[in-house]
Structure 1
Amino acid sequence: MIEPQPTTEAAPAVTRRSVTDAESRAASRRWWDADADDYQAEHGAFLGDTEFVWCPEGLREADARLLGDVSGKRILELGCGAASAARWLAGQGAEVVAMDLSEGMLRHARTASDRTGVPVPLLQADALALPFGDLTFDVVCTAFGAVPFVADSQTVMREVARVLRPGGSWVFSITHPMRWIFLDDPGEAGLMAVQSYFDRRPYVEQDTDGVPGYVEQHRTLGDRVRELVAAGFVLRDLVEPEWPEGHTQVWGQWSPLRGRLFPGTAIFVADLR
């Protein structure tokens, strides 16, 4: 989501270009496997071992209750990372499966389960081909997992609908689409609009051979709503968490300066018809 910068021939490039699902999948697996240790070192304390934190604004499921009463429900967490949300859900009486594409992130999930004594089943799999039968879950959820990193997010919506039971809920958080207008900067430089909201080309970091190392996808709010409706969902709520008073932590592009002016996160709450 950063404006492409001039690069030398020997330096990796930042660009906006189309990528295939295969390129996105390979890039995400490599990136999160390599970055897992640094990510947990930087953000693990904020996310907690047994907390469900929806976003850098610090909105917790314990307060928001976007999933409702989860006791006794069968829940899939997509893009679980270190699976802190899954362990929180297990503590609330849910039957949870946590899934991620990255073995590096799942390694941290296993370590945290051992550390907390709250084990949850962990599965390495692709959100574009969920390895579950139809009508398996009551709820599917993810905090910034899977959805922003696949080229064909419509297929993710259809796969989630397939494994949900009628009336089941699909709740996911992503970077707020309007953030793509701005530079990925938590300071004053990140307050100036520099890119078109309607440019849906993904943000790509690639090496000198043009191989993507990191890929993140942009869709407009309308695009996301249409994806949900096409997959058979009814949008129940769209939550745009406000920056809380006294929250001073900077997380990447998220900061008190920007958070007071415009939303950084969008949380879609949808039910299967």
Structure 2
Amino acid sequence: MEGERADEIAVNRELWALVNERYTGPAAEALWSRPEMVWGLYDVPERQLGVLGDVDGLDVLELACGTAYCSAWLTRSGARVVAADLSAEQLRTARDLQRRTGPAFPLVQADAEHVPLASGSFDLVVSEHGAAAWCDPERWLAEAARVLRPGGRLVFLTNSLLSALCVPDDEGVATNSLQRGQRAAYHVRWPGGGAEFHPSHGDWIRLLRRFGFSVEALHELYAPPDAPDHPFYEIVTTAWASQWPAEELWVAWRTTAAVTRNG
């Protein structure tokens, strides 16, 4: 299993090296320059959802940060941020944007399943469309729990389970009918490259509780009816996402000591 997972991580790393080409230049700079934090494909404002609260003075870790635009927003709000990502190419883009636009904060090349940071170092762990879909939940949740202080929060955004169930086996855009069983969606290896995880709601709750978290909220995010289709991510259309949730935003507190991933 370890060798198979290592192969999947290598494939995902190669995929994100290619995806990074879409985020260099004006697209990446536009995200870094936004004045406030937003969530997901349809830019739902944080002020509308209120899942982060006041981050001023908090120690924050962003897992699977990509080009680290979320970390830039959090740093401007007064947080002390460390951003980690598997992709050297995405982090290179982030460093370039730090030099060109600021702000600066530490960038760490690391897989969210193996975080090279001390236990109990953070008040908040955030992942916006990163760790939850691309990492084994039994591994990355264990790491999130480990690095959080007691009472710390975990906030993560991922594709909705329903969208994962409705995307055809050859990828493409979500349809109006189920394309796979719910159990099959837990771990999907796409033919075009990339391995993803889409646990059911019951799986998420079971795993979060196992690693010492208490679930505070699950926000299901829809597209506004007048929103354009996303320019990069074709997993759903606006027409689809205005009827069914395209994304899920989970909020949990670390209430007890973390257990081992096999505990």
Bin of the TM-score, shorter chain as denominator length:
0.7 to 0.9
Q: Is the 8 A contact 2:164 2:185 kept in 1?
A: no
Indicate whether 1:204 and 2:164 are aligned: no
Normalised by the size of structure 2, how large is the TM-score?
Answer: 0.86
Counterpart in the other structure of 1:4: none
Normalised by the size of structure 1, how large is the TM-score?
Answer: 0.83
Counterpart in the other structure of 2:210: 230
Greater relative CO, 1 or 2 (CA 8 Å, sep 6+): 1
Indicate whether 1:65 and 2:29 are aligned: no
Q: Size of the alignment, in residue pairs?
A: 248
SS at match of 1:190: coil
What CA deviation, in whole Å up to 9, does each residue of 1:147-202 have, x standing for no partner?
Answer: 2112x31121111111101100000011001112213544xx71122221222463
Counterpart in the other structure of 1:135: 120
Indicate whether 1:174 and 2:158 are aligned: yes
Counterpart in the other structure of 2:235: 253
Counterpart in the other structure of 1:96: 81
Unaligned runs of 5+ in 2: 256-263
Q: Is the 8 A contact 1:47 1:53 kept in 2?
A: no
- Tell me which of 237, 245, 251 is aligned to 1:269: 251
Q: Superposition pairs for residues 177-192 of structure 1, below 5 Å? A: 177-183=161-167, 184-186=171-173, 190-192=175-177
What CA deviation, in whole Å up to 9, does each residue of 1:212-244 have, x standing for no partner?
Answer: x42112211111111101000000000001222
SS at match of 1:191: coil
Q: Is the 8 A contact 1:143 1:173 kept in 2?
A: yes
Output the CA distance in 2 between the equivalents of 1:221 and 1:114.
40
Counterpart in the other structure of 1:6: none
Deviation at 1:61, TM superposition (A): 2.4
Counterpart in the other structure of 1:87: 72
SS at match of 2:98: helix
SS at match of 1:104: helix
Percentage identity across paired residues of the two chains: 32
Counterpart in the other structure of 1:26: 10
Deviation at 1:42, TM superposition (A): 9.2
Unaligned runs of 5+ in 1: 1-18, 208-212
